[in-house]
Structure 1
Amino acid sequence: MNISIASDHAGFDQKQVLAAYLKELGHNVIDRGPDCDDRVDYPDFAEIVAHDVVNGEAERGVLVCGTGIGMAIAANKVDGIRAANIVSPAFAALCREHNDANVITLSGRFVDLSANKEILKSFLSTEFGGGRHAGRVEKIMALEG
């Protein structure tokens, strides 16, 4: 799977390790930065990853900031994105199964690296459930401008 990943300064250290972890799992990783932990603005990186997903360059996106909240808000401004800020493997599976989330946002400050690896693994291994959920996802997408 092609996966686009980025962070801000607060998520940089975990992003670096998670990108390597994704490669270990056999995925093609598109690292959209940043290249160091100097202060940057998370919306800039959320936009790049979101466009990778919408444009088909990546099947899924991964964003890491201090909490993951700002990244989720920013990514969800891009039409076609369903980003979810996730703090547990069970929620990661549910955001895929029920909401067909295509971007996951993670906390680099409040969730430890081992937990984020498990969250990411769950997000990438869970398929959309379709069925009764498909109509709801269609309604979510119809809210776009």
Structure 2
Amino acid sequence: MTISARNVFEGSITAVTPGAVNSEIEITTASGVKIVSTVTVESARALGLVPGRKAVALIKAPSVIVVSGTPGLRFSARNQLTGTVVRIAAGAVNSDVSIDVGGNVLQAVVTNEAVTELGLAEGGTATAMFKAGSVIVGV
């Protein structure tokens, strides 16, 4: 199967927290990167999402928010992965920003203006954030 999501994190389910409507699923990659997703209880059951099961976390690049520096703010996004900017490919309006987080390269699409305002540069540090509800889980 070919998919359009550019961020694919393969790993194993390391935690499942069931809720009344949604369950929280934690997937950990071989390099230790943890991705948290929320899926419906029914989806968790239908997919057999249990600790130890191999799984993949998918995140579309436009769902990723990029933060630079230490803004002194706290965010509600469960997934906050800090790494090194390894590539910035500027387009007419948006840029594709690649951030290496624990050996996995995460892609974000942000405006060119944001790249400038955040002072993003290859070799610099940035944090990629995305909500657990933006993560699609596959098995």
Both structures adopt the same fold (TM-score exceeding 0.5): no
Would you tell me which structure has more strand in proportion to its own residues?
2
Would you tell me which structure has more helix in proportion to its own residues?
1
Q: Which has the larger radius of gyration?
A: 2
Q: So what's the TM-score if we normalise by structure 1?
A: 0.22
